[in-house]
């Protein structure tokens, strides 16, 4: 049998032909492997980022998102009240609400809701606006504090093609809440405050004015004039904070009913003044009527408590409505009692009297030979009435208001001691009473006195003072020689009625108690009346009050004629300062009339005010009537 066939020799593996199919399969596995690695890497990165976003950065990103949809807004604090010394309100705030709408947004919201559910949101937006306007008008009435809220006016506001519209600025909170509850998606309510002055123009020159200032950041009631402005930091309190949702792109457009409170505001403190509301009312009427009667340009009156220096009343003939102060003139807004300096005239003679008695130069009964005129440097000064040399008691010099006799006494006092006495009486410096806009007056420094200066100052010319300063001089004499700087603010009242009384200013010793008593007794003769002998009459007879000893002084000072830059012969300041009662002082009253017509005296004003004070505060009558004193021998 033939043997098996023999095969040719086998090729080595190294030279075998390629296997394309096998190589393709290997590359695919490689790519798959690489892809898997990349996919796992991407998942790992995404996982890490997710952990970072949801864990590590969650609070930060949440806060950023919150900021994008909310806006922080300050909440104004409730403003403190202003009270008189007995707790009667002179100024206080009430809460009101501004009702507003975002008309364009309201229309869009209604149209979208109507398209989804016409049965629930029937009719057009304009028809819906009619319903809203009708409800608002019926709730508020046709007008709110001068703003029209009748149905047609409100409707026209609702359908305006604008982003924001205030419907009413001062709605009652309860009525505003009723409207917002009825239409919460359309109408928004915004807190506002309104300043109330229950006594109208009474004491407006002191209290001033405050109103809601929408342009402030945050909007708030801000003091504009007077005490409201000067004490704004005390009255205003501390603002709170809330957040609201606002329209995209405009942080001023608050979406209704999205407010959330964060920090509560801290209310402002109330101010208790030294003013007595009844006395203020009476004094304001008296000075207003008398200023009008005499044709004076201005008139002011001040009442001080003689023992404490507290301002019981401070009134001017011109006042204004603090709720409409924009219509007031500068004269109406000015507190003439402190913001107007004038030459006091003979009222200033009390400085000479006090100095002469204090330094032991004269006694009340000492007799002076008083000529009809006296020469001081290049000036010749006369008395208001013509006379030759007449003997006058030292008391009579002041009771009859002799310029010549006063200058004779002043020359014995001397310039240096006289200048020192002016300082002790507080002249030339603000009293720091707390009354806004107070002037300092003007007293020439001793080093600048000319030869004739000492012929002017003792008779109340060549220096100026405010009415409050002038009244304060007599308070020192009434208070046994101690001048208590006047004050207006008695206490601050915080939350829950916590009362913090203001520290009383320290007194300034002007003269001794004995000197003060002697001067008071001398100046009682100013109101003396002798029907048998006119030479024994004082210049202030009309100031007398039956049953009470009155010490005081009249004054008449020439004003400057701007045409000649010299003293006018027809324009005067007329003044009076008096102590009630002189034997047991309780009150001091100062009066100033600016250029009254004719030879008008301010003494009758004192009589009327003093009479009221005796009744209002039940001032006991004097134990005895003023003794009769011979003024001219």
Residue labelled with tokens 């980022």: 49
- Residue 91: burial class (beta carbons within 10 Å; 0-12, 13-18, 19+): buried
Angle at 151 between CA 150 and CA 157, to 5 degrees: 95
Strand partners of residue 575? 555, 592
Measured CA to CA, the distance from residue 94 to residue 193 in angstroms comes to: 6
The helix/strand/coil state of 284 is helix
Residue labelled with tokens 């409505």: 321
Among the listed residues 506, 511, 482, 343, the one whose alpha carbon sits nearest the alpha carbon of residue 420 = 511
Which is catalytic among the residues 93, 346, 464, 622? 346
Let me know: does 213 contact 194? Beta carbons within 8 Å: no
Please give the radius of gyration of the chain, using alpha carbons only, rounded to the nearest integer.
42
Sheet holding 551-561, edge to edge: 311-316, 298-305, 587-594, 566-580, 551-561
Let me know: does 304 contact 472? Beta carbons within 8 Å: yes
Q: Helix (H) and strand (E) counts for the chain?
A: 20, 26
The helix/strand/coil state of 433 is coil
Give the DSSP H/E element, type plus range, for residue 351: helix 349-358
Number of other CB atoms surrounding residue 445 within 10 Å: 8
Measured CA to CA, the distance from residue 510 to residue 516 in angstroms comes to: 9
Let me know: does 406 contact 458? Beta carbons within 8 Å: yes
Let me know: does 221 contact 121? Beta carbons within 8 Å: no
169 carries an active-site annotation: no
Neighbouring residues of 140: CB distance < 8 A, sequence distance ≥ 6: 149, 168, 171, 175, 179
- Beta 270-273 vs 82-83: how paired, if at all? parallel
Measured CA to CA, the distance from residue 168 to residue 147 in angstroms comes to: 7
Residues taking part in catalysis: 346
């Amino acid at each position: 049998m033939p043997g098996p066939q023999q095969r040719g020799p086998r090729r080595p593996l190294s030279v075998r032909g390629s296997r394309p199919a096998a190589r393709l399969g290997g590359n695919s596995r490689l790519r798959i492997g690489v892809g898997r690695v990349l996919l796992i890497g991407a998942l790992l990165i995404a996982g890490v980022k997710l952990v970072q976003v949801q864990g590590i950065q969650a609070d930060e990103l949440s806060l950023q998102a919150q900021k994008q949809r909310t806006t922080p807004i300050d909440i104004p604090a409730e403003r403190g009240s202003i009270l008189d010394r007995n707790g009667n309100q002179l100024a206080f705030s009430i809460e009101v609400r501004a009702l507003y709408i975002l008309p364009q947004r309201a229309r869009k919201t209604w149209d979208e809701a109507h398209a989804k559910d016409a049965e629930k949101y029937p009719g057009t937006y304009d028809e819906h606006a009619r319903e809203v306007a009708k409800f608002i008008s019926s709730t508020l009435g046709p007008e709110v504090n001068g703003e029209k809220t009748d149905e047609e006016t409100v409707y026209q506001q609702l359908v305006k093609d604008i982003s924001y519209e205030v419907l009413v600025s001062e709605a009652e909170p309860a009525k505003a809440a009723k409207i917002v509850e009825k239409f919460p998606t359309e109408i928004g309510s915004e807190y506002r405050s309104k300043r109330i002055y229950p006594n109208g123009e009474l004491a407006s020159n002191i209290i001033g004015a405050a109103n809601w200032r929408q342009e402030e950041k945050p909007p708030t009631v801000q003091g504009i004039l007077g005490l409201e402005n000067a004490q704004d930091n005390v009255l205003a309190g501390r603002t709170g904070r809330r957040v609201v949702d606002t329209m995209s792109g405009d942080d001023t457009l608050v979406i209704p009913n999205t407010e959330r409170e964060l920090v509560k505001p801290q209310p402002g403190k109330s101010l208790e003044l030294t003013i007595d509301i009844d006395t203020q009312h009476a004094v304001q009427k008296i000075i207003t009527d008398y200023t009008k009667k005499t044709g004076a340009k201005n008139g002011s009156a001040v009442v001080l408590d003689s023992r404490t220096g507290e301002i019981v009343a401070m009134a001017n003939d011109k006042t204004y409505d603090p709720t409409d102060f924009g219509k007031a003139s500068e004269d109406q807004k000015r507190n003439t009692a402190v913001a107007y300096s004038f030459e006091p005239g003979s009222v200033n003679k009390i400085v000479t009297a006090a100095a002469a008695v204090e330094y032991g130069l004269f006694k009340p009964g000492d007799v002076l030979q008083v000529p009809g005129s006296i020469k001081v440097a290049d000036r010749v000064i006369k008395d208001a009435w013509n006379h030759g040399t007449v003997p006058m008691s030292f008391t009579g010099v002041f009771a009859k208001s002799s310029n010549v006799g006063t200058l004779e006494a002043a020359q014995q006092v001397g310039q240096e001691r006289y200048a020192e006495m002016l300082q002790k009486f507080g002249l030339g410096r603000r009293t720091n009473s707390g009354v806004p806009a107070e002037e300092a007056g003007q007293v020439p420094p001793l080093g600048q006195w000319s030869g004739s200066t000492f012929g002017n100052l003792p008779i109340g010319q060549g220096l100026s003072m405010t009415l409050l300063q002038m009244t304060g001089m007599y308070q020192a004499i009434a208070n046994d020689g101690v001048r208590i700087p006047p004050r207006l603010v008695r206490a601050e009242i915080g939350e829950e009625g916590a009362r913090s009384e203001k520290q009383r200013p320290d007194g300034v010793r002007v003269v001794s108690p004995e000197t003060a008593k002697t001067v008071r007794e001398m100046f009682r003769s100013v109101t003396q009346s002798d029907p048998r002998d006119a030479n024994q009459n004082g210049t202030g007879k009309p100031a007398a009050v039956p049953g009470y000893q009155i010490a005081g002084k009249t004054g008449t000072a020439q004003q400057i004629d701007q045409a000649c830059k010299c003293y006018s012969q027809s324009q005067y300041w007329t003044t009076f300062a008096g102590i009630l009662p002189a034997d047991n002082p309780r009150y001091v009253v100062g009066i100033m009339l600016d250029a009254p017509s004719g030879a008008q005296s301010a003494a009758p004003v004192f009589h009327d005010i003093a009479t009221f004070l005796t009744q209002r505060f039940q001032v006991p009558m004097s134990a005895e009537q003023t003794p009769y004193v011979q003024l001219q021998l």
